[in-house]
Amino acid sequence: MSISALCKTKNSVKISGLQRKYTLMENKFQKLSDKIRELLKNSPIEDIEATINALIKSKCTELGLVSREEFDVQTEVLRKTREKLEALEQELAKHETKTK
């Protein structure tokens, strides 16, 4: 076997070994992540998070704040209304110049 063939074989063995280690590590992290998710599901943290979210929404409503979605919708409505107003103003200006 030539030296270059031997080096390629050793490199491929190293790479496949690294791939196996990476896959094992990835599996371990996934298992750990699943266990943490399971623990949090059964803990009072989920209830606390829901309560905090409800409080934040309540305070935002109390302060008159709106969601980003509602803001975007109202911005679009305003843009269309302005376009209509500008068109009407132009039409009115044409009529005024005709009557003079």
15 vs 27 pLDDT, higher one: 27
Average pLDDT of span 3-21: 57
d(CA 21, CA 9): 18
pLDDT at 93: 93
pTM for this model (two decimals): 0.43
Residue 23 in tokens: 């896959």
Of 91, 19, 22, the closest CA to residue 11 belongs to 19
* Residue range 19-73, pLDDT digits in tens: 777 677 777 778 888 888 787 777 777 678 788 888 888 888 888 888 889 899 9
Residue 31 in tokens: 């298992």
97 vs 15 pLDDT, higher one: 97
Q: What kind and span of H or E run contains 1?
A: none
